[in-house]
Structure 1
Amino acid sequence: MNRDAWRDFPGAPPEGTCICAAADLPVAGVASHDLDGFPILLVASADGLRAYVNACPHQYLPLDWRSSNILSADGETLRCSNHDAGFDACTGRGVDGLGQGCALDPVPLRVAGDWLVIGSA
């Protein structure tokens, strides 16, 4: 998995770009954001907060394009609403269906003051 693959997407914002206010972070579940055309998906669980480019590697449609209900009840699997591809919520690796052999592209996160921003700590 290429940790910098997110930079290759059209419109990828530079490190330091604000995603949302830290106070607005989801405690559990998912939240999608559009950063001037760059789709990002925040995934909050007991293991912490992660971000992925919100683009299924099968056809590069947003995972939540047809439905916002993309996280399994146990919080372990992200399911593409377009073609049912499954991805591990903690790692982004494909776990079943059209997701096998693929992975979501992670986006590094950090908190800067009152904001969640793109970038490594």
Structure 2
Amino acid sequence: MNHDAWRDFPGAPGAGARICRAVDVPVSGVASHDLDGFPVLLVASAEGVRAYVNACPHQYLPLDWRSGNILSADGATLRCSNHDAGFDACTGQGLDGLGQGCALDPVPVHIAGDWLVIG
């Protein structure tokens, strides 16, 4: 997995770009954000928040394009609402269906002051 692949997407913001206020980061579940055309998907769990480019590698449509219900009940799998591709919520690795052999592109994030930022 290329951890810098997110930088190759059109409109990819630079390090320090704000995604959302820290108080708005989900404690569990998923939340999608659009940063001037750059789609980010936040996945929150007891282990913390992970971020991915919100683009299924099959056709680069947002995972939640047809439905916001993309996280399995146990929080382990992200399911593309377009093609049913399955991805590990913690790693982004493809698990089944059209997700096999590919992965979501991770976006590094951290809390800086009152904001969740890229970098």
> Which TM bucket (shorter chain)?
over 0.9
Matched, 1:93 2:93: yes
Percent identity, aligned pairs only, is 84
**Residue matched to 1:116:** 116
Provide the TM-score with structure 1 as the length reference: 0.98
**Residue matched to 1:66:** 66
**Residue matched to 1:11:** 11
The one-letter code sitting in structure 2 at the alignment partner of 1:117 is V
Deviating 4+ runs (over 3 angstroms): none
Superposed CA deviations along residues 51-94 of structure 1, whole A, max 9, x for unmatched, are 00000000000000000000000000000000000000000000
3-state SS of 1:33 partner? strand
> Within 2, Cα distance between the matches of 1:29 and 1:110?
17
3-state SS of 1:69 partner? coil
3-state SS of 1:111 partner? strand
Could you list the runs of 5+ residues in structure 2 that have no partner in the other structure? Answer: none
**CA RMSD in angstroms, aligned pairs only:** 0.4
Q: Write the mapping of 1:32-43 to structure 2, written as runs, cut at 5 A.
A: 32-43=32-43
> Within 2, Cα distance between the matches of 1:47 and 1:104?
18
> Within 2, Cα distance between the matches of 1:110 and 1:46?
16
> Within 2, Cα distance between the matches of 1:76 and 1:44?
11
3-state SS of 1:6 partner? helix
Q: Write the mapping of 1:48-87 to structure 2, written as runs, cut at 5 A.
A: 48-87=48-87
> Within 1, Cα distance between the matches of 2:48 and 2:19?
17
Give the Å deviation of 1:48. Answer: 1.3
